[in-house]
Amino acid sequence: MSQSRTTTPARPGVTANVIRGCLGNLIEWYDWFAYATFSIYFAAAFFPEGNATAQLLSTSVVFAVGFLMRPLGGWLLGAYADRYGRRRALTLSVTLMSAGSLTIALAPGHDVIGLWAPVLLVLARLLQGLSVGGEFGSSASYLAEVAPPGRRGFYSSFQYVSIVLGQLAALVVAIVLQNTLSEGQLQSWGWRVPFVIGAAAGLVVMYLRRTMEESLHFQQEKAKAAAAHERTGLCSLFTEYPRQVLAVFGLAIGGTVAFYTYTTYLQKYLVNTAGIPKSTVSVIGFAALFVYMLLQPVAGALSDRFGRRPVMFVFSVSGMLLTVPIMTVLGRTSSPWVAFLLMTVALAFLSGYSALAAIIKAEMFPTKVRALGVGLPHALVTATFGGLTEPVALALKKGSHEVVFFWYVTACIALTFLATLLVREPSRTSLLETDEAPGTPAPTKAAPLT
């Protein structure tokens, strides 16, 4: 169903600000996936010699620590963004990620400093977990606020473009290093290269973010808050906007589980269950993710034209109907082309969530708690449901109940379907485009839910 919507031309510099805001996402997710990709090479450097599986398990536990830090990052950096500005919070988040990558790149091995080696690795992952946890809410708020009315869905969708591009960049670096260095060189020093790249790129983005324009919404809110002494932070979030927080939880659960299923776990599934060679799976994954990346602005633009809820319904309904059939066929096929086609279809429907993940949540909250309201519940869902996606899948496979995992993903998507039913059309009730447009009075309350 079509909606009448006024499209305002982008103010000067909006495209440059969006790019600078998204570059941080790219670097942070590049670093995040670089750790997962290269842990097989540096596990022995940080943990005592012994069983290789135990070393990999140790690096996996440290990886999980990063997930657990995301809610803390969502809280601290979200509150920081709402109090001191999106630009300062985004600059801080990429600085933390760069510091974590530099620590990993330069840290001496266990044979040099003993137990301090894994301690440094844990500290680096704590910094990176804080960074990624705080990035989402601040970035989502900034992109939504600097985008012109009527095109917020399109511009906000580039948040996931940059996230996927970060994944692809990490994969490209891995492929290049694996084809230019020997196994011994990778384990000796080659694994440090991607973290040096991440740290250096992070410093560049840190400088670029310092030159971003602050959003007009935040500037207006800061001036108003100074005179009104309004409550902000967790107290305001949970007492004034509890239903919006619950809505973000519901909207995020299905999309998060589906995202980690189809972008991360699926490649292991194609190797372990379908029996497709690892090198072939890497090509399949790269090609499907590239198509997925290109679909984000398309889905975002469709949400500007038809509304957020119809696009979210496309994701949730198709996810409930197709997850079990797609995963079942993928587990039985030996054809790379069939695997690529089905993975691309699944990711195409997932675009209905990921392209809107920032804007549909940002439109629910006023400026004073927007970054915190978006970032904290999203980080909690990612740390729990997102972080557990792969362990749940592997545990059910080990217990010969792999099909149960398909239904688990379906059930999580069903929760997002229910949340979408309960949310009023966010683009119509948006606190970005109506109550909080720069130069207009602030709203007395938020009302995005039925």
**Alpha-carbon gap, residue 151 to 154, rounded angstroms:** 5
Domain stop point among 162, 180, 211 = 211
Same domain, 171 and 249: no
Identify the pLDDT of residue 336.
Answer: 93
Collapsing DSSP to helix, strand or coil, 189 comes out as coil
Same domain, 163 and 277: no
Same domain, 261 and 371: yes
The pTM assigned to this predicted structure is 0.83
Identify the pLDDT of residue 3.
Answer: 46
Identify the pLDDT of residue 1.
Answer: 44
Identify the pLDDT of residue 444.
Answer: 37
Domain hosting residue 397, numbered range? 232-427
Same domain, 367 and 252: yes
CB of 397 within 8 A of CB of 273? yes
Q: Which residues of 317-354 are buried (b: 16+ CB within 10 A; e: fewer)?
A: bbbbebbeebbeebbebeebeebbebbbebbbbbbbbb
Domain stop point among 179, 211, 243 = 211
**Alpha-carbon gap, residue 82 to 142, rounded angstroms:** 11
Cβ of 274: how many Cβ atoms within 10 Å? 19
Identify the pLDDT of residue 213.
Answer: 81
Token pair of 318 as six digits:
């198709």
Total domains in the chain come to: 2
Same domain, 250 and 164: no
Q: Per-block average pLDDT, block size 10, for the chain (450 residues)? A: 45 74 83 79 75 60 77 91 88 89 89 85 87 87 87 91 90 87 88 92 85 80 64 79 91 94 86 84 89 96 93 96 96 93 96 93 88 91 86 84 94 96 81 52 41
Q: What is the CATH number of the domain that holds 77?
A: 1.20.1250.20
Position 225 in a domain: no
Position 303 in a domain: yes
Same domain, 253 and 390: yes
Position 10 in a domain: no
Collapsing DSSP to helix, strand or coil, 423 comes out as strand
Same domain, 202 and 301: no
Same domain, 284 and 238: yes
Position 178 in a domain: yes
